[in-house]
Amino acid sequence: MAEPQGQLEARWHRAIAEIPEAQWQALTAASPLPFYSWRWLHGLEASGSIAPREGWQPMHLGLWRGEQLLAVAPLYLKGHSYGEFVFDQSFGQLAGHLGLRYYPKLLGMSPVSPIVGYRFHVAPGQNEAALTAVMLELIDQFCREHSILSCNFLYVDPAWRPLAEAAGCATWLNQQSLWTNNGYRHFDDYLASFNANQRRNIKRERKAVAAAGLTVTPVVGEEIPEGLLLRMHGFYEQHCSRWGPWGSKYLTEDFFHYAARELRRHLVLFSAHRGDPLDPVAMSLCVHTHQGLWGRYWGSDEEIENLHFEVCYYAPIAWAIGRGIQHFDPGAGGSHKRRRGFIARPHASLHRWQHPRFDAIVRRWLPEANAQQLEEIEVINAELPFTAAPLSLQDLT
């Protein structure tokens, strides 16, 4: 598939392997997020975690001048809404009422990673606003030619959002959790931000884990042996199986093999153990940069009170403080996060619909829905048991 745009050529890539790693990385180098690196996305595809048989068809849009990549949009053709964590069932229901086919849909995000930061990646020196508009026109054309109702960009980079809105995208607000390092030097500084009652609760929760004879040790980067990552896959698989068909199991064992070879420098495992950290009872996997930490997966062999909070929240926060990391996104869902130092924050998804009536109905609904979301976030944050400094959305990425 190719569409000439003056000196530019648009190519739709059915695998990221069709795009040279060096060219992709030259465009994404300004982004600190590992989730949009060539190796991360290639690992998802090469491992079979993100594949057509799983309802994810890679369909990356590249703008080329000869053999030079000038811009790229990571995109997937989706046959379902799993692994997105932005719940669009109401859109699907509306499509059904209008006699429209909702799937497949075109989706822009880092698969199964609800991480703020999606954008089109543009080469330095290029007109980002102009290329964004060109690529959105190409996406509209692709959707019309293939009878695709919608294109959806999830967890968008706040800095890119105005460019896409100016080119006609509609904005839908949802919420995420975020911990911010307000200049803490030690874990006790973080505890001091809570009211007395919740401070006692956190201390009690941590003591329960220690009373079970467990220590939590971070294993970081190149220190992580491949066997420990495969053990993490076992915890991940086990945890997902507890929820049956709703278990959100997306990553194959091959992805963890791949991560051991290619992704370790961005990984930290929090091992709960009674002796050797390489022989864990429970473990969580987080992804990190020098500024950010993202909680992704966890699992446990034993049912131990408060172990989840220790392995997934308190130990990562203590590690982040020690590293001077500024933000910790613990992952999707969970109102229990609010009482443990995480603020509710809005995040935006951007949408384009090809059916005029569908588009008109949703755009009329969005202002009220977004206002209600912001009001809910304000109410949640007014009841937090800790003090927190205000943070601009621009700081999240």
Instruction: Give the model confidence (pLDDT) of 164-194 as tens digits.
Output: 999 999 999 999 999 999 999 999 999 999 9
pLDDT at 390: 54
List Cβ neighbours of 365 (8 Å cut-off, separation of 6 or more). none
Residue 157 lies in a domain: yes
Cβ distance 193 to 204 under 8 Å? no
**What local confidence, expressed as pLDDT, does residue 241 receive?**
81
pLDDT at res. 30: 85
Average the pLDDT over 28-57 and give the result: 95
Share the mean pLDDT of the chain: 93
- φ, ψ of residue 71 to 5 degrees: the values are -160, 150
> Do residues 277 and 376 both lie within one domain?
no
Count other Cβ atoms within 10 Å, centred on residue 383: 8
Is the residue at 330 inside a domain?
Answer: no
Reduced to 3 states (helix: H, G, I; strand: E, B; else coil), residue 330 is coil
Q: Which of 325, 353, 369 is the last residue of a domain?
A: 325
C-alpha to C-alpha distance for 251 and 235, rounded to whole angstroms: 12
SS3 395: helix
Residue 96 and residue 158 in one domain: yes
For residue range 252-290, list pLDDT tens digits in order. 999 999 999 999 999 999 999 999 999 999 999 999 999
Classify residue 397: in a domain, yes or no. no
pLDDT of residue 244: 63
Output the pLDDT for position 245: 59
Q: How far apart are the first and last CA of the chain?
A: 33
Q: What is the CATH number of the domain that holds 9?
A: 3.40.630.30
Please name which of 289, 115, 305 lies closest in space to residue 209, comparing C-alpha atoms: 305
Taking a C-beta distance cutoff of 8 angstroms, is the pair 273, 217 a contact? yes
Same domain, 190 and 147: no
Written as one string, the DSSP assignment of 342-387 is -EEEEEEEEEEESSHHHHHHHHHHHHHHHHHHHHHHHHHHHT-SB-
Would the pLDDT of 132 be above 90? Answer: yes
- 195 and 75 inside one domain: no
Among 293, 325, 357, the domain boundary falls at: 325
Average pLDDT for 71-86: 96
Q: Domain range holding 224? A: 182-325
Element (DSSP H or E) covering residue 394: none
Give the chain's radius of gyration (CA, Å): 22
Q: Is residue 335 part of a domain?
A: no
